[in-house]
Amino acid sequence: MRHSNSGRKFSRTPAHRKALLQNLAKALLIHGRIRTTELKAKDLRRVVEPLITLAKRNDLHSRRLAYRVLNNHALVKRLFDVIGPLFAGVPGGYTRILKLALPRRGDNAPMAIIELTTVPEEQKKPDTGTDDSKKTPTEQAQGDAPAENADTASK
């Protein structure tokens, strides 16, 4: 019987499941928002929210406990210096799960977006006018294409 066994198995071994959740937690803390299945997002909350609570404590022991999960010194530093202070006065509920309307194409799995409720300043998108340095490579190539065609047509 499964008395008091919480968490989903995801048809994975315990080591694979732990690695999956750690990698999802890293991606969420780096990007602030990720797209995954609903069930993975719900289990990911149980990993990320205690990490943010540790970041609010901001002592050496908390950093070491966070490093056990994240295995990345730079990410632990970002968690404690950038993300932790954002949630200083918040008692909990650091993540939000938004269910997507369309399921995943291959296996029809219900998809969701999990995001931090407060986004760091560096991740906010600037809504200024277009700039050549902010264009994608395809946009830059499309912008240069007519000029190149005009040069070759005149030759």
pLDDT by residue (tens digit) across 99-155? 999 999 999 999 999 999 998 887 776 665 555 555 555 555 555 555 555 555 554
Q: What is the pLDDT of residue 120?
A: 80
Report helix, strand or coil for 96: strand
Q: By CB neighbour count within 10 A (0-12 exposed, 13-18 middle, 19+ buried), where does 149 fall?
A: exposed
In the prediction, which pLDDT does 124 show?
Answer: 73
pLDDT at residue 119, rounded to an integer:
85
- State residue 136's pLDDT score: 55
* Helices assigned H by DSSP within 6-155: 14-31, 38-57, 60-70, 73-78, 84-86, 137-154
Domain borders along the chain are: 14-119
Q: What is the pLDDT of residues 38-58, one digit of tens each?
A: 999 999 999 999 999 999 999
Is the Cα dihedral 112, 134, 76, 118 positive or negative? negative
Tokens 């990720």 correspond to what residue?
34
pLDDT, position 122: 77
What is the pLDDT, as a whole number, of residue 67? Answer: 98
Distance CA 38, CA 99 (A): 7
Residue 22 has pLDDT above 70, yes or no: yes
CATH number among 1.10.3720.10, 3.90.1030.10, 3.30.160.20, 3.40.640.10, domain 14-119: 3.90.1030.10
Q: What pLDDT does 56 receive?
A: 96
Helix (H) or strand (E) holding 37: strand 33-37
Give CA–CA dist 14/92, Å, rounded.
27
Residue 58, judged by CB atoms within 10 A of its CB (0-12, 13-18, 19+), counts as middle
- Rounded to whole angstroms, the Cα distance separating 50 from 79 reads 12
pTM here is 0.78
